[in-house]
Structure 1
Amino acid sequence: MLSHTIAAWIALGTLAAAHMAMVKPCTRYTPRGDNCPSLPPGQQLDYSLNAPLARNAPLCKHTVPYSTPVANWTAGQTIQVAFDRVGAAAHGGGHCQFSVSYDGGKTFAVVHEVLKHCFFNGPSTGNTPAVLSYTFSLPSNLPSSDKAVFAWSWVNAIGVREFYMNCADVAIRGSGSSYTGKQMVVANIDGYPEIEEFGGNYDTGLEYYKNAKSVTVAPST
């Protein structure tokens, strides 16, 4: 019993010391998500999902999907993406993207982005987020899939150069055969560009977002 108590306190301490995490739709293996299914066999809850990706981590961090989708969406509908307020630390904002993949999380195309001031309504040097949810419409030409991967990614404005990313397994109903959008920006991990601390200049790193190549994603046949 004592060991279980200690483990719980360690987990809570890790969660409280971390940064930002998506809870709606349910991130893979989150202990605090919305409408989360049972864990895949052999996997464990992850109490550090609001920490940045390790420099050598795979995209999404966890690559084994849930067996059932955590949300059922229709192309063109308005969705809400929400973030955990527990342990939230927004590092002055920065660049956020919301993206979709149809190949298990290898290739992501952007469906929405909030550049410069993610989690705030303007320039900020604060750590407490002013915005904890975003509502936007999915592209109307997204194709159908029961195994799409939806991702939130973030490059923080202030602090150690980090890259945050959470992934959720979703089902999408649509009429398109493929979707073409900007390729998701990845930075500050091994093999990708480094975006320096903003230092009050919120145009920092924007060239990677504005000049991102187009990528086409589609369900496998």
Structure 2
Amino acid sequence: MKSFIAAASILLSGFALLAEAHITFRYPCPRRGPFAECPQGDANLIDYNIRSPVGTHDSIVSPICKWSSSFAGVRPVFTAGQTVSAVMDIGAYHKGGSCQWTISYDNGQTWVVFQDQLKTCMADAGTSVNYNLPFTIPANAPSGPAIINLLWNNNEGNRELYSSCSDVVIQGTNGGTFSGLAPLIANYGPSSPLIKELAVSGGDYGQAYFAARKSITITVPKQTSAKRRSLNRPN
């Protein structure tokens, strides 16, 4: 009985943390997400604080993806050129902010921005809601396992960086290069660029920093026949 009560207390405290935090993917599922529709594993490894920022301008709280891997399970399959309606789980919307949609084919070592929504991203979301936020997979995206990541710098409140990483499979061209911009990683430790709170910055949401992002090109190897078949049966 005592062990049951202890386990229940841990579970409830986890949901309390989730309720107090701010924003995350709900779909596609974030790594180690606590949501019922997400792949599940060891209960002790579920991230009940998944809405929390990965850092502030004062400190780095966790790596960009928080976790180096997720639980085993089926990955969503997205086709190059497809528009996906992401579902954001929002505890506090901070009057919106700046979104950078990024993709990685090397487990988060290299990121390429493929879509932006600066200043107004989720500005009409409200609080304690599930919010639809569409993104479009680039038409020339190569095939393979990938991570889709949403980076978000909030307009109001502490100077924070939020990051939601989801493991997916892309079906597109068989190998090749893919180009875009390297993401701006701001408000992520004292050595990162500082984007000030919008209300006290005279409307400056970091325009100069976003404009200075550098071009980046990655090369994705061709998939073998066996690998292509496995992408049709993701696990």
- TM-score (norm. length: structure 2): 0.81
Aligned to 1:5: 8
Shift in Å, 1:93 = 0.8
Unaligned runs of 5+ in 1: none
Q: 2:218 is matched with which residue? A: 217
The reply to whether residue 111 of structure 1 matches residue 109 of structure 2 is no
One-letter amino acid of the counterpart of residue 193, structure 1: P
Query: What amino acid is aligned across from residue 74 of structure 1 in structure 2?
Result: T
Relative to structure 2, which stretch is displaced further, 198-207 or 21-30?
198-207
Deviations 1:194-217 (A, max 9, x none): 211111644321222222111123
Taking the aligned partners of 1:189 and 1:107, their CA distance within structure 2 comes to: 17
Instruction: Show structure 2 runs of 5+ residues with no match.
Output: 223-235
| In structure 2, C-alpha distance between the alignment counterparts of 1:7 and 1:93, rounded to whole Å | 32
The answer (yes or no) to whether the contact 2:97–2:123 under 8 Å persists in 1 is no
Aligned to 1:92: 95
Output the aligned Cα RMSD: 2.4
Percent pairwise identity: 32
Q: Measure, in 2, the Cα distance between the counterparts of 1:219 and 1:105.
A: 14
**1:17-166 → structure 2 map (5 Å cutoff):** 17-32=20-35, 34=37, 36-39=38-41, 44-54=45-55, 55-56=59-60, 57-68=62-73, 70-85=75-90, 88-121=91-124, 128=127, 132-145=131-144, 147-166=145-164
TM-score (norm 1): 0.86
Work out the CA distance in 2 between the residues paired with 1:89 and 1:42: 26
SS at match of 2:9: helix
Q: Distance in 1 between matches of 2:212 and 2:102?
A: 16
Distance in structure 2 (CA, Å) of the matches to 1:83 and 1:11: 19
Alignment size in residue pairs? 212
CA drift at 1:43: 6.9
Q: Compute the displacement of 1:64 (Å).
A: 2.0
Question: Greater strand percent: which structure?
Answer: 2
Distance in structure 2 (CA, Å) of the matches to 1:84 and 1:42: 20
* Residue deviations 1:28-55 (CA, integer Å, cap 9, x gap): 0011164x2343x797100111010143
Asked if the contact 1:141–1:179 (Cα under 8 Å) also holds between the matched residues in 2, the reply is yes
Q: How far off is 1:186 after superposition?
A: 0.8
Instruction: Considering fraction of residues, name the structure with more helix.
Output: 2
After TM superposition, give the deviation of residue 179 of structure 1 in Å.
1.1
Once residues 69 and 110 of structure 1 are traced to their aligned partners in structure 2, the CA distance between those partners, rounded to angstroms, is 25
1:121-179 deviations in whole A, cap 9, x for unaligned? 4xxxx96278811223211111111x211101100111111100010111001115121
